Structure 1
Protein backbone atom coordinates (compact mmCIF):
# COMPACT_ATOMS: atom_id res chain seq x y z
CA UNK A 1 0.00 0.00 0.00
CA UNK A 2 1.47 3.36 -1.10
CA UNK A 3 -0.84 5.68 0.84
CA UNK A 4 1.68 6.31 3.68
CA UNK A 5 4.13 7.52 1.04
CA UNK A 6 1.63 10.22 0.06
CA UNK A 7 1.67 11.50 3.63
CA UNK A 8 5.46 11.46 3.76
CA UNK A 9 5.80 13.39 0.51
CA UNK A 10 3.06 15.83 1.53
CA UNK A 11 5.08 16.63 4.65
CA UNK A 12 7.98 17.49 2.34
CA UNK A 13 5.77 19.84 0.32
CA UNK A 14 4.73 17.56 -2.56
CA UNK A 15 1.00 18.07 -3.36
CA UNK A 16 -1.24 15.09 -2.68
CA UNK A 17 -2.78 15.33 -6.15
CA UNK A 18 0.63 15.08 -7.81
CA UNK A 19 1.72 12.06 -5.77
CA UNK A 20 -1.57 10.23 -6.35
CA UNK A 21 -1.34 10.86 -10.09
CA UNK A 22 2.26 9.63 -10.26
CA UNK A 23 1.54 6.52 -8.19
CA UNK A 24 -1.57 5.78 -10.25
CA UNK A 25 -4.44 5.93 -7.76
CA UNK A 26 -7.24 8.38 -7.02
CA UNK A 27 -7.21 11.11 -4.40
CA UNK A 28 -10.62 9.90 -3.22
CA UNK A 29 -9.18 6.51 -2.33
CA UNK A 30 -6.31 8.15 -0.46
CA UNK A 31 -8.55 10.49 1.53
CA UNK A 32 -10.87 7.62 2.38
CA UNK A 33 -7.87 5.71 3.72
CA UNK A 34 -6.61 8.76 5.62
CA UNK A 35 -9.80 9.89 7.34
CA UNK A 36 -11.85 6.74 7.83
CA UNK A 37 -11.04 3.53 9.66
CA UNK A 38 -11.21 0.72 7.13
CA UNK A 39 -11.07 -3.03 7.28
CA UNK A 40 -8.43 -5.19 5.65
CA UNK A 41 -10.99 -6.02 2.97
CA UNK A 42 -11.54 -2.33 2.24
CA UNK A 43 -7.81 -1.73 2.02
CA UNK A 44 -7.49 -4.67 -0.34
CA UNK A 45 -10.33 -3.27 -2.45
CA UNK A 46 -8.53 0.08 -2.64
CA UNK A 47 -5.32 -1.65 -3.68
CA UNK A 48 -7.12 -3.63 -6.39
CA UNK A 49 -8.85 -0.47 -7.60
CA UNK A 50 -5.48 1.23 -7.99
CA UNK A 51 -4.20 -1.81 -9.88
CA UNK A 52 -7.26 -1.71 -12.16
CA UNK A 53 -6.60 1.98 -12.85
CA UNK A 54 -3.03 1.10 -13.78
CA UNK A 55 -4.25 -1.61 -16.19
CA UNK A 56 -6.56 0.89 -17.83
CA UNK A 57 -3.80 3.46 -18.14
CA UNK A 58 -1.33 1.01 -19.68
CA UNK A 59 -3.72 -0.58 -22.18
CA UNK A 60 -7.19 0.96 -22.48
CA UNK A 61 -9.17 -2.22 -23.17
CA UNK A 62 -12.85 -2.45 -22.44
CA UNK A 63 -14.71 -4.74 -20.08
CA UNK A 64 -14.11 -5.85 -16.52
CA UNK A 65 -13.23 -9.38 -17.68
CA UNK A 66 -10.12 -8.05 -19.42
CA UNK A 67 -9.15 -6.14 -16.28
CA UNK A 68 -9.67 -9.27 -14.16
CA UNK A 69 -7.44 -11.28 -16.51
CA UNK A 70 -4.69 -8.66 -16.35
CA UNK A 71 -4.89 -8.47 -12.55
CA UNK A 72 -4.66 -12.25 -12.28
CA UNK A 73 -1.65 -12.29 -14.60
CA UNK A 74 0.01 -9.68 -12.36
CA UNK A 75 -0.47 -11.90 -9.31
CA UNK A 76 -3.61 -10.37 -7.80
CA UNK A 77 -6.36 -12.63 -6.48
CA UNK A 78 -9.78 -11.27 -7.47
CA UNK A 79 -12.80 -12.79 -9.18
CA UNK A 80 -14.59 -11.22 -12.11
CA UNK A 81 -17.59 -10.18 -10.00
CA UNK A 82 -15.38 -8.36 -7.52
CA UNK A 83 -13.47 -6.62 -10.30
CA UNK A 84 -16.77 -5.57 -11.90
CA UNK A 85 -17.90 -4.06 -8.58
CA UNK A 86 -14.65 -2.17 -8.05
CA UNK A 87 -14.55 -0.86 -11.63
CA UNK A 88 -18.14 0.32 -11.32
CA UNK A 89 -17.50 2.07 -8.00
CA UNK A 90 -14.36 3.78 -9.31
CA UNK A 91 -16.08 4.81 -12.57
CA UNK A 92 -13.23 3.30 -14.52
CA UNK A 93 -15.72 2.33 -17.22
CA UNK A 94 -18.90 4.08 -18.20
CA UNK A 95 -22.35 2.60 -18.29
CA UNK A 96 -24.29 3.73 -21.35
CA UNK A 97 -27.94 4.27 -20.64
CA UNK A 98 -30.83 4.70 -23.02
CA UNK A 99 -31.18 8.16 -24.47
CA UNK A 100 -34.31 10.23 -24.08
CA UNK A 101 -35.66 12.80 -26.48
CA UNK A 102 -33.85 16.12 -26.21
CA UNK A 103 -35.46 18.10 -28.97
CA UNK A 104 -32.24 18.07 -30.98
CA UNK A 105 -32.00 17.15 -34.63
CA UNK A 106 -32.02 13.34 -34.94
CA UNK A 107 -28.86 11.61 -36.14
CA UNK A 108 -28.47 9.50 -39.27
CA UNK A 109 -30.63 6.40 -39.62
CA UNK A 110 -29.50 3.00 -38.40
CA UNK A 111 -29.32 0.37 -41.13
CA UNK A 112 -29.16 -3.42 -41.14
CA UNK A 113 -26.67 -5.03 -38.79
CA UNK A 114 -24.34 -7.28 -40.78
CA UNK A 115 -22.68 -8.67 -37.65
CA UNK A 116 -26.01 -9.92 -36.24
CA UNK A 117 -24.47 -10.42 -32.77
CA UNK A 118 -21.97 -12.93 -34.18
CA UNK A 119 -18.84 -11.39 -32.69
CA UNK A 120 -16.27 -13.80 -34.11
CA UNK A 121 -13.55 -13.54 -36.75
CA UNK A 122 -11.29 -16.18 -38.27
CA UNK A 123 -8.41 -13.80 -38.96
CA UNK A 124 -7.14 -10.34 -37.95
CA UNK A 125 -8.60 -7.23 -39.58
CA UNK A 126 -11.88 -8.94 -40.47
CA UNK A 127 -14.05 -7.50 -37.68
CA UNK A 128 -13.33 -4.60 -35.36
CA UNK A 129 -15.48 -3.45 -32.45
CA UNK A 130 -15.51 0.15 -31.26
CA UNK A 131 -17.07 1.99 -28.36
CA UNK A 132 -16.78 5.27 -26.49
CA UNK A 133 -16.49 5.47 -22.70
CA UNK A 134 -16.16 8.42 -20.34
CA UNK A 135 -13.69 8.61 -17.46
CA UNK A 136 -13.43 11.10 -14.61
CA UNK A 137 -9.99 12.48 -13.83
CA UNK A 138 -8.67 15.07 -11.42
CA UNK A 139 -8.83 17.61 -14.24
CA UNK A 140 -12.32 16.76 -15.51
CA UNK A 141 -14.03 14.26 -17.78
CA UNK A 142 -12.27 12.54 -20.68
CA UNK A 143 -13.81 10.51 -23.49
CA UNK A 144 -12.01 7.48 -24.86
CA UNK A 145 -12.82 5.76 -28.13
CA UNK A 146 -11.02 2.46 -28.73
CA UNK A 147 -11.14 -0.09 -31.53
CA UNK A 148 -10.60 -3.77 -30.76
CA UNK A 149 -9.76 -6.53 -33.24
CA UNK A 150 -12.12 -9.44 -32.53
CA UNK A 151 -9.63 -12.07 -33.72
CA UNK A 152 -6.74 -11.03 -31.46
CA UNK A 153 -8.85 -9.35 -28.76
CA UNK A 154 -6.36 -6.48 -28.75
CA UNK A 155 -6.83 -2.74 -29.05
CA UNK A 156 -5.68 -1.66 -32.54
CA UNK A 157 -6.51 2.03 -32.35
CA UNK A 158 -7.81 4.68 -29.98
CA UNK A 159 -8.30 8.40 -29.42
CA UNK A 160 -8.91 10.57 -26.36
CA UNK A 161 -10.66 13.93 -26.07
CA UNK A 162 -12.31 16.13 -23.46
CA UNK A 163 -15.38 16.48 -25.70
CA UNK A 164 -17.78 13.94 -27.18
CA UNK A 165 -17.45 14.66 -30.89
CA UNK A 166 -17.75 12.67 -34.11
CA UNK A 167 -14.04 13.29 -34.70
CA UNK A 168 -13.28 11.16 -31.63
CA UNK A 169 -14.34 7.98 -33.46
CA UNK A 170 -12.85 9.16 -36.76
CA UNK A 171 -9.49 9.75 -35.08
CA UNK A 172 -9.61 6.31 -33.45
CA UNK A 173 -10.31 4.69 -36.81
CA UNK A 174 -7.52 6.68 -38.47
CA UNK A 175 -5.14 5.54 -35.73
CA UNK A 176 -6.12 1.89 -36.23
CA UNK A 177 -5.75 2.08 -40.01
CA UNK A 178 -2.34 3.76 -39.70
CA UNK A 179 -1.10 1.07 -37.31
CA UNK A 180 -2.40 -1.90 -39.30
CA UNK A 181 -1.92 -0.55 -42.82
CA UNK A 182 -4.57 0.44 -45.34
CA UNK A 183 -4.11 -2.64 -47.54
CA UNK A 184 -4.32 -5.04 -44.59
CA UNK A 185 -7.67 -3.67 -43.39
CA UNK A 186 -9.40 -3.59 -46.77
CA UNK A 187 -12.87 -5.10 -46.37
CA UNK A 188 -12.80 -5.01 -42.57
CA UNK A 189 -16.18 -4.57 -40.88
CA UNK A 190 -16.23 -2.06 -38.01
CA UNK A 191 -19.16 -2.48 -35.64
CA UNK A 192 -20.21 -0.03 -32.94
CA UNK A 193 -23.05 0.80 -30.62
CA UNK A 194 -25.23 2.96 -32.85
CA UNK A 195 -25.97 5.32 -29.95
CA UNK A 196 -22.37 6.00 -29.00
CA UNK A 197 -19.60 5.98 -31.56
CA UNK A 198 -21.83 6.97 -34.45
CA UNK A 199 -23.88 9.61 -32.70
CA UNK A 200 -23.94 12.89 -34.57
CA UNK A 201 -21.62 11.78 -37.37
CA UNK A 202 -22.44 12.15 -41.05
CA UNK A 203 -23.88 9.08 -42.74
CA UNK A 204 -21.62 7.41 -45.31
CA UNK A 205 -23.36 4.89 -47.58
CA UNK A 206 -21.17 1.83 -48.04
CA UNK A 207 -22.31 -1.58 -49.32
CA UNK A 208 -19.38 -3.25 -47.50
CA UNK A 209 -19.93 -1.65 -44.11
CA UNK A 210 -21.79 -3.11 -41.14
CA UNK A 211 -25.25 -1.55 -41.69
CA UNK A 212 -24.86 0.99 -38.89
CA UNK A 213 -22.16 2.92 -40.79
CA UNK A 214 -22.11 6.59 -39.86
CA UNK A 215 -18.60 7.93 -40.42
CA UNK A 216 -15.51 7.03 -42.34
CA UNK A 217 -11.94 7.79 -43.24
CA UNK A 218 -11.24 7.89 -46.98
CA UNK A 219 -9.99 4.52 -48.17
CA UNK A 220 -10.48 2.88 -44.76
CA UNK A 221 -13.13 0.62 -43.22
CA UNK A 222 -16.35 2.30 -42.10
CA UNK A 223 -17.35 2.67 -38.48
CA UNK A 224 -20.77 1.15 -38.01
Structure 2
Protein backbone atom coordinates (compact mmCIF):
# COMPACT_ATOMS: atom_id res chain seq x y z
CA UNK A 1 0.00 0.00 0.00
CA UNK A 2 1.49 3.28 -1.04
CA UNK A 3 1.86 6.15 1.43
CA UNK A 4 2.32 8.75 -1.28
CA UNK A 5 0.14 11.84 -1.17
CA UNK A 6 -2.56 11.51 -3.87
CA UNK A 7 -2.23 15.20 -4.62
CA UNK A 8 1.13 14.42 -6.24
CA UNK A 9 -0.55 12.47 -9.06
CA UNK A 10 -1.57 14.31 -12.20
CA UNK A 11 -5.28 14.71 -12.92
CA UNK A 12 -4.84 13.04 -16.31
CA UNK A 13 -3.24 9.93 -14.75
CA UNK A 14 -5.89 9.58 -12.03
CA UNK A 15 -8.71 10.14 -14.54
CA UNK A 16 -7.33 7.39 -16.83
CA UNK A 17 -6.93 4.92 -13.93
CA UNK A 18 -10.48 5.62 -12.67
CA UNK A 19 -12.00 5.57 -16.13
CA UNK A 20 -13.40 9.11 -16.01
CA UNK A 21 -12.80 12.13 -18.20
CA UNK A 22 -10.82 15.10 -17.02
CA UNK A 23 -13.75 17.43 -17.78
CA UNK A 24 -16.00 15.23 -15.64
CA UNK A 25 -13.53 15.48 -12.75
CA UNK A 26 -13.35 19.28 -12.96
CA UNK A 27 -17.14 19.54 -13.11
CA UNK A 28 -17.42 17.37 -9.97
CA UNK A 29 -14.72 19.37 -8.13
CA UNK A 30 -16.38 22.67 -9.00
CA UNK A 31 -19.80 21.72 -7.68
CA UNK A 32 -18.86 19.31 -4.93
CA UNK A 33 -19.81 20.46 -1.39
CA UNK A 34 -17.99 18.86 1.50
CA UNK A 35 -19.91 17.44 4.45
CA UNK A 36 -18.50 20.18 6.69
CA UNK A 37 -19.57 22.90 4.27
CA UNK A 38 -23.04 21.39 4.01
CA UNK A 39 -23.29 21.33 7.80
CA UNK A 40 -22.22 24.97 7.95
CA UNK A 41 -24.99 25.88 5.52
CA UNK A 42 -27.53 23.96 7.62
CA UNK A 43 -26.45 25.79 10.78
CA UNK A 44 -26.46 29.15 8.95
CA UNK A 45 -30.01 28.51 7.75
CA UNK A 46 -31.19 27.96 11.33
CA UNK A 47 -29.36 31.06 12.58
CA UNK A 48 -30.81 33.12 9.73
CA UNK A 49 -34.32 31.89 10.52
CA UNK A 50 -33.91 32.73 14.19
CA UNK A 51 -32.58 36.21 13.43
CA UNK A 52 -35.57 36.98 11.21
CA UNK A 53 -38.18 35.53 13.58
CA UNK A 54 -40.82 38.15 14.39
CA UNK A 55 -41.49 39.01 18.01
CA UNK A 56 -38.18 37.49 19.17
CA UNK A 57 -34.86 39.13 19.94
CA UNK A 58 -32.51 36.64 18.30
CA UNK A 59 -31.34 39.38 15.93
CA UNK A 60 -29.62 40.97 18.94
CA UNK A 61 -27.70 37.77 19.80
CA UNK A 62 -23.96 37.56 19.38
CA UNK A 63 -22.16 34.25 18.89
CA UNK A 64 -22.08 33.22 22.62
CA UNK A 65 -25.84 33.53 23.09
CA UNK A 66 -26.61 32.12 19.63
CA UNK A 67 -24.36 29.17 20.42
CA UNK A 68 -26.31 28.53 23.64
CA UNK A 69 -29.63 28.78 21.75
CA UNK A 70 -28.48 26.28 19.09
CA UNK A 71 -27.27 23.79 21.69
CA UNK A 72 -30.04 24.03 24.28
CA UNK A 73 -32.94 25.11 22.10
CA UNK A 74 -32.27 23.13 18.92
CA UNK A 75 -30.07 20.22 19.97
CA UNK A 76 -27.02 21.09 17.84
CA UNK A 77 -23.71 19.62 18.95
CA UNK A 78 -21.49 22.47 17.90
CA UNK A 79 -18.61 24.56 19.22
CA UNK A 80 -18.87 28.27 19.94
CA UNK A 81 -15.98 29.12 17.61
CA UNK A 82 -17.76 27.47 14.71
CA UNK A 83 -20.88 29.55 15.37
CA UNK A 84 -18.69 32.65 15.61
CA UNK A 85 -17.07 31.86 12.24
CA UNK A 86 -20.37 31.16 10.48
CA UNK A 87 -21.86 34.42 11.76
CA UNK A 88 -18.74 36.43 10.94
CA UNK A 89 -18.62 35.07 7.35
CA UNK A 90 -22.18 36.29 6.80
CA UNK A 91 -21.76 39.64 8.54
CA UNK A 92 -24.06 38.76 11.41
CA UNK A 93 -23.27 40.41 14.72
CA UNK A 94 -25.05 40.92 18.03
CA UNK A 95 -26.34 44.22 19.33
CA UNK A 96 -23.68 46.29 21.08
CA UNK A 97 -24.41 48.43 24.11
CA UNK A 98 -23.98 52.09 23.32
CA UNK A 99 -21.14 53.87 25.06
CA UNK A 100 -22.46 56.51 27.40
CA UNK A 101 -20.45 59.68 27.69
CA UNK A 102 -20.76 61.37 31.03
CA UNK A 103 -20.79 65.15 30.95
CA UNK A 104 -20.04 66.59 34.35
CA UNK A 105 -21.78 69.82 35.28
CA UNK A 106 -19.22 72.53 36.04
CA UNK A 107 -20.83 73.28 39.43
CA UNK A 108 -19.22 70.32 41.16
CA UNK A 109 -17.61 69.66 44.54
CA UNK A 110 -14.66 67.65 45.76
CA UNK A 111 -15.28 64.11 47.03
CA UNK A 112 -14.91 64.39 50.81
CA UNK A 113 -16.21 60.87 51.52
CA UNK A 114 -13.99 58.62 49.34
CA UNK A 115 -16.36 55.66 49.87
CA UNK A 116 -15.94 55.77 53.67
CA UNK A 117 -19.52 55.73 54.93
CA UNK A 118 -18.65 54.79 58.54
CA UNK A 119 -19.20 57.79 60.81
CA UNK A 120 -19.09 57.97 64.64
CA UNK A 121 -22.47 59.63 65.08
CA UNK A 122 -25.57 61.15 63.42
CA UNK A 123 -25.54 64.32 61.36
CA UNK A 124 -21.93 63.86 60.28
CA UNK A 125 -22.67 62.59 56.77
CA UNK A 126 -25.85 62.96 54.73
CA UNK A 127 -26.32 61.23 51.37
CA UNK A 128 -28.61 62.30 48.55
CA UNK A 129 -29.85 60.58 45.40
CA UNK A 130 -32.87 60.13 43.09
CA UNK A 131 -34.60 57.01 41.81
CA UNK A 132 -37.39 56.54 39.27
CA UNK A 133 -40.00 53.91 38.48
CA UNK A 134 -42.68 53.43 35.85
CA UNK A 135 -46.45 53.41 36.26
CA UNK A 136 -49.14 53.11 33.59
CA UNK A 137 -49.48 56.92 33.75
CA UNK A 138 -45.76 57.64 33.54
CA UNK A 139 -42.71 57.82 35.77
CA UNK A 140 -42.54 58.66 39.46
CA UNK A 141 -39.35 60.18 40.88
CA UNK A 142 -38.21 60.00 44.48
CA UNK A 143 -35.37 62.01 46.05
CA UNK A 144 -34.05 61.00 49.47
CA UNK A 145 -31.57 62.37 52.01
CA UNK A 146 -30.10 59.58 54.13
CA UNK A 147 -28.20 59.90 57.42
CA UNK A 148 -25.20 57.58 56.98
CA UNK A 149 -24.97 56.83 60.72
CA UNK A 150 -28.50 55.45 61.18
CA UNK A 151 -29.26 54.80 57.49
CA UNK A 152 -32.53 56.59 58.15
CA UNK A 153 -34.26 58.60 55.43
CA UNK A 154 -34.45 61.99 57.13
CA UNK A 155 -35.72 63.83 54.06
CA UNK A 156 -37.59 62.82 50.95
CA UNK A 157 -39.64 64.22 48.08
CA UNK A 158 -41.81 62.48 45.46
CA UNK A 159 -42.92 63.94 42.13
CA UNK A 160 -43.69 63.34 38.47
CA UNK A 161 -40.72 65.42 37.23
CA UNK A 162 -37.02 65.10 37.96
CA UNK A 163 -36.21 68.73 38.71
CA UNK A 164 -33.96 70.64 41.11
CA UNK A 165 -37.04 71.35 43.26
CA UNK A 166 -37.31 67.62 43.98
CA UNK A 167 -33.88 67.44 45.67
CA UNK A 168 -34.26 70.85 47.30
CA UNK A 169 -37.51 69.74 48.96
CA UNK A 170 -35.85 66.55 50.25
CA UNK A 171 -33.01 68.62 51.71
CA UNK A 172 -35.42 71.08 53.29
CA UNK A 173 -37.24 68.23 55.05
CA UNK A 174 -33.91 66.90 56.37
CA UNK A 175 -33.00 70.37 57.68
CA UNK A 176 -36.39 70.69 59.36
CA UNK A 177 -36.08 67.30 61.04
CA UNK A 178 -32.48 67.91 62.12
CA UNK A 179 -32.98 71.56 62.99
CA UNK A 180 -29.81 73.47 63.75
CA UNK A 181 -27.39 70.95 62.26
CA UNK A 182 -24.38 72.59 60.61
CA UNK A 183 -21.09 71.21 59.33
CA UNK A 184 -22.50 67.87 58.09
CA UNK A 185 -21.22 66.62 54.73
CA UNK A 186 -23.95 66.57 52.05
CA UNK A 187 -22.75 63.93 49.57
CA UNK A 188 -24.35 63.22 46.17
CA UNK A 189 -23.55 62.36 42.55
CA UNK A 190 -23.04 64.77 39.66
CA UNK A 191 -26.68 64.80 38.55
CA UNK A 192 -27.85 68.13 37.17
CA UNK A 193 -30.31 68.47 40.06
CA UNK A 194 -27.48 68.32 42.60
CA UNK A 195 -25.20 70.64 40.65
CA UNK A 196 -27.98 73.20 40.15
CA UNK A 197 -27.75 76.66 41.66
CA UNK A 198 -30.96 76.03 43.66
CA UNK A 199 -29.55 73.00 45.47
CA UNK A 200 -25.95 74.14 45.96
CA UNK A 201 -27.07 77.51 47.34
CA UNK A 202 -29.33 75.75 49.90
CA UNK A 203 -26.44 73.50 50.94
CA UNK A 204 -24.18 76.48 51.63
CA UNK A 205 -27.01 78.44 53.23
CA UNK A 206 -27.59 75.56 55.67
CA UNK A 207 -23.92 75.47 56.65
CA UNK A 208 -23.43 72.01 55.14
CA UNK A 209 -20.31 70.85 53.31
CA UNK A 210 -20.94 69.86 49.68
CA UNK A 211 -19.33 66.64 48.42
CA UNK A 212 -19.67 64.71 45.16
CA UNK A 213 -18.35 61.33 44.05
CA UNK A 214 -16.54 60.78 40.77
CA UNK A 215 -18.55 60.95 37.57
CA UNK A 216 -20.50 57.79 36.67
CA UNK A 217 -19.29 55.66 39.61
CA UNK A 218 -22.13 54.15 41.66
CA UNK A 219 -19.70 52.89 44.34
CA UNK A 220 -19.01 56.48 45.38
CA UNK A 221 -22.56 56.60 46.75
CA UNK A 222 -22.89 52.90 47.56
CA UNK A 223 -25.00 53.34 50.71
CA UNK A 224 -27.69 55.14 48.72
CA UNK A 225 -27.55 52.42 46.06
CA UNK A 226 -28.15 49.87 48.83
CA UNK A 227 -31.16 51.89 50.04
CA UNK A 228 -32.64 51.96 46.53
CA UNK A 229 -31.96 48.24 46.09
CA UNK A 230 -34.05 47.50 49.17
CA UNK A 231 -36.90 49.65 47.87
CA UNK A 232 -36.66 48.00 44.45
CA UNK A 233 -36.94 44.48 45.84
CA UNK A 234 -39.47 45.07 48.61
CA UNK A 235 -41.71 47.62 46.90
CA UNK A 236 -41.15 48.73 43.31
CA UNK A 237 -40.90 45.27 41.73
CA UNK A 238 -43.61 43.75 43.94
CA UNK A 239 -46.46 44.60 41.53
CA UNK A 240 -47.36 46.69 38.47
CA UNK A 241 -48.38 50.25 39.34
CA UNK A 242 -51.43 51.79 37.67
CA UNK A 243 -51.16 55.44 38.75
CA UNK A 244 -48.54 57.87 40.01
CA UNK A 245 -50.64 58.51 43.11
CA UNK A 246 -50.74 54.79 43.93
CA UNK A 247 -46.97 54.42 43.67
CA UNK A 248 -46.27 57.72 45.44
CA UNK A 249 -48.42 56.65 48.39
CA UNK A 250 -46.65 53.29 48.52
CA UNK A 251 -43.24 55.00 48.48
CA UNK A 252 -44.32 57.26 51.34
CA UNK A 253 -45.48 54.24 53.38
CA UNK A 254 -42.26 52.29 52.67
CA UNK A 255 -39.99 55.20 53.66
CA UNK A 256 -41.89 56.41 56.73
CA UNK A 257 -43.48 53.23 58.09
CA UNK A 258 -41.47 50.28 56.81
If the TM-score is normalised by the length of the shorter chain, which range does it land in? 0.3 to 0.5
Give 1 or 2 for the bigger CA radius of gyration: 2
Compute the TM-score of the two structures, normalised by the length of structure 1. 0.44
Higher helix share: 2
